[in-house]
Structure 1
Amino acid sequence: MPPRQQPRRISRELALLGLSQIKSHGDKLEQTDLNELVLAAVRTLTAEIRETLESASGEVSRADERLLSSDTRATNVKSAQTMVREALELTQSAINRLAIVIDFPERLQLASQYEVRQYALELIGTVHRRQKEIEQTIGSALIDWQLSRLAKIDQDILRIAVSEMLFLDIPHKVAINEAIELAKRYSDEEGYRFVNGVLRRVTDQLAV
């Protein structure tokens, strides 16, 4: 039998994927049920899958045009191969996202659904209510960069981690490790390394 899932880890995923979909506050947020959270997460992942597959399709079309060029040269063939490789990587990313969608129901069944819902809503509510303070903290840890320039998923991973550090009494090390796991699952290698670096600078600043 698969191991019991950690409710808070699933909560963080639902909060991450639901932040852009769930805008309600206060009592309205408290009335949000687990099905709404899952639906918001699935909608976010579906949009990402669609966008990724469209990008992959575009790369294949560009490669096809290069190969069918009347004056095919070695450089065209090489660039076409690069485009096809990028298309395959994008397609794999879409497949990974699809696997996450399929994985959700089982993972929820293997966790305390009450705890999952409660902590996911607490995270979403905290990020919305304390957005200014959270973003100021992140901004002070960014070196020659702006939060708005980061990929949306990386922005939200940072917001969730900092909200846990500042307002939810989560040990800094735990918040960082969980953020890295989210980044590995939903971002890329460059993204999770960047998230790690920013959060470690946040903890250094909070320790002063």
Structure 2
Amino acid sequence: MQARRIGRELAVLGMSQFSDKPQKLEQQDLEGLISSAVRTLTVEAKDALETAADELKRGSNRIMDSETRAPDVTSARTMVEDAIALTQNAINRLGSALELPEFVQITNQQEVRAFSLEILSHTVRYLKEVDEILEEAMVAWQLKRLARIDRDILRTAVVEMQYLGTPDRVAINEAVELAKRYSGEEGYRFINGVLRRVVERSKISAKEAPPPVVSPQADSTF
């Protein structure tokens, strides 16, 4: 499960570098996209550490100000609360940054890269069909108007459900978790809604599909 989760995240990050020109899409170096995604994660860890250090410094300054510059108790309490909030943010960022080295190490596992490549290759091959599925499931919105990361998370989920055999519930839950990490509250709610409509429409289409035609020879007995 962890390998597939990390492979999925790498695929989404790599997908963000897809060419917008259809004629160049099949010429993409998919292995190169994955390596670039790993570099993106490394930079993200560095940025998180720098931001955490800045928040800790600001929190420390707020505590000092509460002791020396606050005109009254209420102001001092507010400054301390601000300092606590900044410190908590810094701790959260440090926690995420400390997880990334292990994450990056796991990205080198063959299983992880194989799953990433599978998602990317199927996305390239079936991009037109995937985008049509998403367009039909979106209400009063257009795929091209979405933030790139939201669009790529949606594409990844549809590829998994339609072509890779991932259970609908698993694909949706994983997409929502990715959106929480890279998009935001409105983003993950929107993605959850779109993917649930994709599943509903798929079930309706399956019910409405005509039964397969059976050749008379297939029913004959000897």
- Tell me the TM-score normalized by structure 1: 0.64
The total of aligned residue pairs comes to 161
Asked whether the 8 Å contact 1:15–1:121 carries over to 2, the reply is yes
Asked whether the 8 Å contact 2:14–2:34 carries over to 1, the reply is no
Give CA deviations for 1:23-81 in whole Å, capped at 9, x if unaligned.
6747943x5496444125556x58xx79xx9xxxxxxxxxxxxxxxxxxxxxxxxxxxx
Structure 1 residues 41-52: aligned runs within 5 Å = 41-42=41-42, 45=44
Asked whether the 8 Å contact 1:42–1:101 carries over to 2, the reply is no
Q: Which has the higher contact order (CA 8 A, sep 6+)?
A: 1
Q: Which residue among 135, 140, 145 is the counterpart of 1:139?
A: 135
Find the counterpart in structure 2 of residue 190 from structure 1: 186
- Identity of counterpart residues, as a percentage? 45
Partners of 1:39 and 1:19 in 2: CA distance: 14
Does 1:11 find its partner at 2:7?
yes
Does 1:175 find its partner at 2:171?
yes
- Shift of residue 20, structure 1, vs aligned partner: 2.1
Ranges in structure 2 where 5+ consecutive residues have no aligned partner: 20-24, 52-81, 205-222
Q: Which residue among 156, 160, 165 is the counterpart of 2:156?
A: 160
- Tell me the TM-score normalized by structure 2: 0.60
Does 1:129 find its partner at 2:112?
no
- Shift of residue 205, structure 1, vs aligned partner: 0.6
Q: Which amino acid aligns with 2:179?
A: A
Does 1:199 find its partner at 2:195?
yes
Partners of 1:145 and 1:40 in 2: CA distance: 29
Residues 122 and 26 (structure 1 numbering): CA distance in 2 closer, same or farther, change over 3 Å?
A: farther
Partners of 1:180 and 1:124 in 2: CA distance: 19
Structure 1 residues 30-179: aligned runs within 5 Å = 31-32=31-32, 35-42=35-42, 45=44, 96=93, 100=96, 103-109=99-105, 113-179=109-175
Q: Which amino acid aligns with 1:133?
A: E
Asked whether the 8 Å contact 1:157–1:183 carries over to 2, the reply is yes
Q: Secondary structure at the match of 1:130?
A: helix
Asked whether the 8 Å contact 1:22–1:40 carries over to 2, the reply is no
Give CA deviations for 1:83-105 in whole Å, capped at 9, x if unaligned.
xx9xx99xx69x85x86565332
Ranges in structure 1 where 5+ consecutive residues have no aligned partner: 54-84
Residues 138 and 99 (structure 1 numbering): CA distance in 2 closer, same or farther, change over 3 Å?
A: farther
Asked whether the 8 Å contact 1:26–1:125 carries over to 2, the reply is no
